[in-house]
Amino acid sequence: MDLAVELSSRTGRTDAIYRALHSALTTGRVPAGERLPSTRDLARDLGVSRASVATAYERLVAEGFLETRTGAGTFATAAASDTAPARRRNPGVLRPRAGWRWQVRPASGDRPAPAHDFRVGIPDATLFPFDTWRRLLAAESRAGGPAAGSYGGPAGLPRFRAAVARYATGSRGVRAGADDVVATTGAQQALDLVARVLLEPGDVVAVEDPGYPEARELFALHGAEVVPVPVDADGLVVDQIPARARLVYTTPSHQFPLGMPLSLARRRALLAHAARHGAAVVEDDYDSEFRRVNRPLEPLQALDRDGRVVYVGTFSKSLLPGLRVGYLVAPPSLRDALLAARQLTDGHGAVHVQGALARLIDDGLLARHVRKASAVYAERHEILLDALAGLPLEVVPSAAGLHVAAYLADGVPVGSQAVVARARRGSVGLESLAAFATGPHRDGLVLGVGAAVTSSIRPGIQTLGRLLEP
């Protein structure tokens, strides 16, 4: 099989092989029923590791484009050759363009919560000030209020932008005035807007590995060549970022999912790298309001002297994910394009929600809520660490946030994915590090404290402990 694979970077090979195979299969160059080379042969031909080829094959098997027949090898399925030729045979069948490979995740609210709920990234809704919120929303929703009649600007309600600038400055040390803030539909839209205005197809985007899949896949969807960069105890390993990366996506306050902060030396090195190579840095500060240290490290955005950092904040963890409110703070050079992108893609956000949130901030109620929730999460975090202490796990130290990662110690007889599947049967909800990694990584687990009922933590960890026993 003649396969053209663009392998210009050391990392991101699995992705490159996947794309080349996907294209060969869906354009009919590899017809249904054809046997693919063994992973060993293809790896040798391409000069890559066998694991890279095997992972690409596994992905295509999972998507139904390849099938493995025991003892016989790996074959192209009819589903693969259906895709492109089917358009010609049956013009009525519409198919998405190549590249749509993201599998929609089930919504966390669609399934009953596990009794021991260590799912990642879910805040405790019972702490949310619903009565106050209802009152503020009602006030914003009256006839003649800001939501009445007209369209708003793409940057968001001026009151909201001013309140958010004060909040991000006061709580996180971000350097921003009202004009610097653009309201978004959560962090995810902020990433999308940044990708739209900065990336050309084929541009290299460096992401942390393990890292946030929603960011990684979004950049890939915009045509970027996504290059995973490893993370160590100091966070993103800056000297492994490719020089030609146009954009670097990072979670410096609380690395997602491992949890360590990016050290000050690495922060400086990252900014120096960005300045040297003309790259943009996207700083995703998704849950660091919940901190367990007095003086957090300054955000990259505040250390940036060259206008290279786009800071992304969200109220998905500090309030509720369902509000779908976030924001970005961008250098002035990008602002007009970002506003144009927001206006053309979805107009603007819900003004009455932004108005109510501005009041929540201005009246000091958001800060109060965050203080209260931080204390609850810090207690759960402490109980969780105490309960984990007896298990064959190595907890990754973190100073903030809603979850904890822990590596499996040597000698644990099962892999993390098997642990997660078995734990689920015992009504313990948690995640495997494998769900967030693309390359080789230490095996481990990720446990959230946001949704966990405090009294259910110890019994949940006892159940987990039984699954880790030799």
Ligand X SMILES: Cc1ncc(COP(=O)(O)O)c(C=O)c1O
Applying CB under 6 A, which residues contact ligand X? Answer: 121, 186-188, 212, 251, 256, 284, 286, 314, 316, 321, 326
Decide: 449 and 458 in contact? Cβ < 8 Å.
Answer: no
Report d(CA 169, CA 318) in Å as an integer: 16
Q: How far is the CB of 365 from ligand X (least distance, A)?
A: 20
Q: Which is nearer to ligand X, 81 or 251 (CB)?
A: 251
Burial (0-12, 13-18, 19+ Cβ within 10 Å), 100: exposed
Cβ distance to ligand X smaller for residue 296 or 321: 321
Nearer to ligand X by Cβ, of 57 and 311: the residue is: 311
Q: Which of 226, 175, 177 is closest to 199 using CA atoms?
A: 226
Question: What stretch of H or E contains 191?
Answer: helix 186-198
Beta carbon nearer to ligand X, 203 or 283: 283
Closest Cα to residue 393, out of 381, 414, 378, 410?
410
Closer residue to ligand X in complex, CB, 12/321: 321
Dihedral over Cα of 214, 217, 223, 229: its sign:
positive
CA dist list (Å): 323 to 145, 263, 317, 357, 447: 20, 32, 10, 10, 23
Question: Under 8 Å CB-to-CB from 225, ≥6 apart: which residues?
Answer: 6, 9, 12, 15, 16, 202, 203, 204, 205
Considering the complex, what minimum distance in angstroms separates the CB of residue 130 from ligand X?
19
Rg, Å, the chain Cα set: 23
CB of 221: closest distance to ligand X in angstroms?
Answer: 15
* CB 1, min distance to ligand X, A: 38
Q: What sign results for the dihedral spanned by CA atoms 289, 246, 234, 420?
A: positive
Spatial distance between the Cα atoms of 206 and 361, rounded to a whole number of angstroms: 34
Between 76 and 447, CB nearer to ligand X: 447
Residue 34: CB minimum distance to ligand X, A? 40
Residue (18 or 256) nearer to ligand X, CB? 256
| Shortest Å, Cβ 450 to ligand X | 10
Closest approach, Cβ 215 to ligand X, in A, equals 7
CB of 327 to ligand X, least distance (A): 10
| 16 versus 447: smaller Cβ distance to ligand X | 447
Nearest Cα to 183, choosing from 327, 9, 38?
A: 327
Of the pair 99, 213, the CB lying nearest ligand X is at: 213
Nearest Cα residue to 76 out of 143, 135, 31, 24: 31
d(CA 147, CA 354): 10
Q: Assess contact for 33 and 75: CB atoms under 8 A.
A: yes
- Minimum distance from residue 328 beta carbon to ligand X (Å): 11
141: left (phi over 0), alpha (psi -120 to 50) or beta: alpha
Helix (H, G, I), strand (E, B) or coil at 98: coil
Max Cα distance, the chain (Å): 72
Q: Which residue, judged by CB position, is nearest to ligand X in the bound state?
A: 186
Q: How far is the CB of 211 from ligand X (least distance, A)?
A: 8
- Choose between 66 and 323: whose C-beta lies nearer to ligand X: 323
CA–CA separation, 157 vs 163, rounded Å? 10
Considering the complex, state which of residue 171 and residue 188 has its C-beta at the smaller distance from ligand X.
188
- Please, what is the minimum distance in Å from the beta carbon of residue 388 to ligand X? 21
